[in-house]
Chain A
Amino acid sequence: MSKKNLTRRGVLKTGAAGVGAAGLATPTLFTGAVWADGHTGFTNAPEGDTVTLGFNVPQSGPYADEGADELRAYELAVEHLNGGGDGGMIPTFSSKTLEGNGILGKKVEYVTGDTQTKSDAARASAKSMIEKDGAIMITGGSSSGVAVAVQALCQEAGVIFMAGLTHSNDTTGKDRKANGFRHFFNSYMSGAALAPVLANAYGKDRKAYHLTADYNWGYTTEEAVVQATEAMGWETVNAVKTPLTQTDFSSYVAPVLQTDADILVLNHYGGNMINSLTSAVQFGLRDKVANGKNFEIVVPLYSRLMARGAGANVKGIFGSTNWHWSLTDAGSKAFVQSFGTKYGFPPSQAAHTTYVQTLLYADAVNRAGSFNPCAVAEALEDFEFDGLGNGKTLYRGADHQCFKDVLVVKGKENPTSEFDLLEVVEVTPVDQVTYDPDHPQMGGAEATLGSCNVGA
């Protein structure tokens, strides 16, 4: 008897009977209603009256702040799913299957792990959740490398992966997987949303100079912004890669002054962006006049945590973000209210996306009537929803990427608190940021999801 990845708990409780459902070997033939019978035959099929989710976030390393906020959101989501607290975004969510009685009537439990922002550690942690704790779904990650690595692992093991904060095109581009789903937006969307706003604010005959963090996310962001702005008529003077570990950017900023560029684009995230922006401001770039125009700086991906780090330097600088707590739709308000009551400060975009992902997963299981990953994937594919803070949203079936409006934000001139640092200047409608699943930036025609895997 050789079988792999069977849940330990399941085997104990049901003995050999748990292995039964060999009939699900060719799952693509089945549709919705059939899944309702399929409560066995996949990795970690939940037995008893609880179900375990795995929250795999960076608790140490460069993205520990984001990780801590993600974990808070996960705990809040579990509380709401189990009927505790004020329910958060459950009442505003357009799908009404969540009733505060867990998922499919099973109480939600969770395990946590530390990814250390390293793909090896993240995979080890996710594997222990799957092999030891019997987790049926893994979610989290605060960097694209980790997200891609864990997504591939979940595909192999036959569980669902709900990506957390990962912005690189690759996650749902060339590295997309049938068992993986992303709610967060991506580099392409940032470029497409920013370009028109920039063209309006700064004119169409600008010359841009890019500084790009020398790793995967940096490349895709640079590519996206260059293509989107060049389509608007901008010219790219130069694009320079900077090492990820760089903390002093003066040697990269100084050469900008020697060129005839009049825009500096910083494809940096986290501490990188804080340092490079500070350096650029210290060199007086923002007071400079080039080609008869004011010199401007752009930061494609913004987060509140970064804005806080960079302080007054972010004032008036454009960027894009997935969600911001100052939004006034019912969903966002309910979430900010609920998060604020529990923790005493507003949630970040990382917290928002992970909270939403947990709810979306729970709802998809309820609608499918089964925890079977293929059934859940089918329920999520081409699912349209509303009321989760981003307006009308589509989970596209072709690449498992969410399509929704993108926020273009600007550093606030007169912040009223340490959280009130960004203001939304424009909500770019979803049509403007939609692309074909086989777009060249997304891995072209070669990229495929493969088929969903149930493991066991």
Chain B
Amino acid sequence: MLGLNAKDAGLFLLVTIMVILAPLILNPFPEGSELAQFNAGYPDLMQRFVIFGIFAIGFNILFGLTGYLSFGHAAFLGVGSYAAIWMMKLLTLNVIPAIIMAVIFAGLFALLVGFVSLRRSGIYFSILTLAFAQMSYALAYSVLTPLTGGETGLQIKSTDSPLLSNLANGEIGRANLFGLEMGSSFEWGVGNWLFTFNAGYYIAGIVMLMAFYMSIRIFRSPFGMMLRAVKSNQQRMNYTGLNSKPYTLAAFVISGMYAGLAGGLLVAMDTQVGPERMFWTASGEVVLMSILGGVGTLIGPVLGAGMIKYMENIISKINDNILHQWFAFLPDGMEDFVVFLIHPFIGKGWHLTLGLVFMAVVIFLPGGLVEGGQRIGRLFRRKKRDGAVGDAAKTPAE
């Protein structure tokens, strides 16, 4: 199917189904129940899942295949975002030109950064990309204030009148796709459950599926094989008389364009940009996403991105008040004690929780969440074989 082998087609189908059903899958707990705190099926977070999924998929093409660890990928995300918002402010509120511009500008910037940084490899490459990203951040934060809005960033204002859209005077434009607003949702209440199907999410989801498909094709292509060769032994490649630089540069630019695409989508879903998007912690985050999910695997980065964004948005919002509600059934002293024990891991402590999860994954599942999935898969398969049941072609997560 679509030029994929059976295993990849199965994986792609699985991801497609997950993307389509996400609003249902992510809202397992009924409204008003105490566990509703853990529901993640609201538009903003679902959009972030798929957008950062794209970002991580792109990063994985560089890091997973060539082994070049870029510590400055957030810069491309930021460049893409600024390009997209300027398109919306000046040309049209339709998201398509904005996203295309975001990809182009991020690609050009990646070409520049890659051309310089790829002259070195290993830690020097990482430091060079980090330096470029921090430079971009500093420029956006202060020097380029007229262009980037400085610390305050850029938003669409009532005074903006894009060339191709006819807004009433004083109306604040909203991002749309041929009139369909990104914010519009269809809500479906079943019993105590409420599911939100958001237009913006599905548009981002479709783009994510296209990006995912592209990434599978790249992984399976001769070009992908060449990149893997760079990872396993670049020196030997060079000695055979093959110039590996065009390949690594191409991978770098593709990966930068993926980041730009993610940046453009971020703006399309939520029309604002701030310079912190390019800060080095944002670059570090995508590295964490890849490692957490599984470097060099197809689905891993998406899982990692989902995991980190879930922690950031759900765990950080639990406060002591909510804990007290949960443990209200315990006797008074016990309740306070349990809340005291959990307190450091919630709210602002979500970084700590994430750190612990990260450590656990790296120590016990060096292959990331994907390896966890594979182990569980193997467990089931062995049981089935024991029970003399034929090996159903369960789709292992790559």
Could you list which residues of chain A lie within 8 angstroms of chain B, going by C-beta atoms?
Answer: 1-6, 8-9, 11-12, 15, 59-60, 64, 110-114, 118-121, 123-125, 127-128, 131-132, 143-145, 148-149, 152-153, 155-156, 168, 170, 175, 214-217, 219, 241, 243-244, 446, 448, 450-451
Contact = CB atoms under 8 A, between A and B. Distances in A.
Nearest to B191: A12
A170 B154 CA distance: 13
A59 B347 contact: yes
What are the 4 tightest A-B residue pairs by CB atom distance, in nearest-first order?
A: A59-B348, A119-B274, A127-B44, A214-B142
Interface of B: 31-32, 39, 42-45, 48, 138, 141-142, 145, 150-153, 155, 157-159, 170, 172, 174, 181, 183-187, 189, 192, 194, 196, 270-272, 274, 276-277, 279, 312-313, 316-317, 319, 321, 347-348, 350-351
Nearest to B195: A8
A125 B318 CA distance: 12
A153 B272 CA distance: 9
A46 B316 CA distance: 24
B184 A119 contact: no
Given A59-B348, A145-B151, A215-B150, A155 B316 contact: no
Given A3-B184, A128-B42, A448 B158 contact: yes
Contacts of A110: 321
Given A59-B348, A120-B274, A125 B189 contact: no
B214 to A, nearest CB: 26
Contact of B142 (A131, A144, A168, A241): A241
Given A59-B347, A119-B153, A144-B151, 11 more contacts: A3-B187, A8-B196, A12-B194, A59-B316, A118-B274, A121-B276, A123-B270, A125-B313, A132-B39, A216-B150, A219-B145
Contacts of B183: 4-5, 156
A125 B317 contact: yes
Given A121-B312, A244-B141, A448-B159, A2 B185 contact: yes
A244 B319 contact: no
A114 B153 contact: no
Interface of B is mostly: mixed
Contacts of A152: 155, 272
23 contacts: A3-B184, A5-B185, A8-B187, A8-B196, A12-B189, A59-B347, A64-B348, A114-B348, A119-B272, A119-B276, A121-B276, A124-B312, A131-B42, A148-B155, A149-B155, A149-B274, A152-B155, A170-B152, A244-B141, A448-B158, A448-B159, A448-B170, A450-B172
A456 B309 CA distance: 27
Contact of B270 (A127, A170, A175): A127
Contacts of B142: 214-215, 241, 243-244
A216 B187 CA distance: 40
A368 B262 CA distance: 43
A123 B155 CA distance: 12
A128 B155 contact: no
A8 B313 CA distance: 18
Contact of B276 (A118, A217, A219): A118
Nearest to B149: A216
Contact of A114 (B43, B158, B316): B316
A128 B141 contact: no
A451 B183 CA distance: 19
B1 to A, nearest CB: 33
Contacts of B141: 214-215, 244
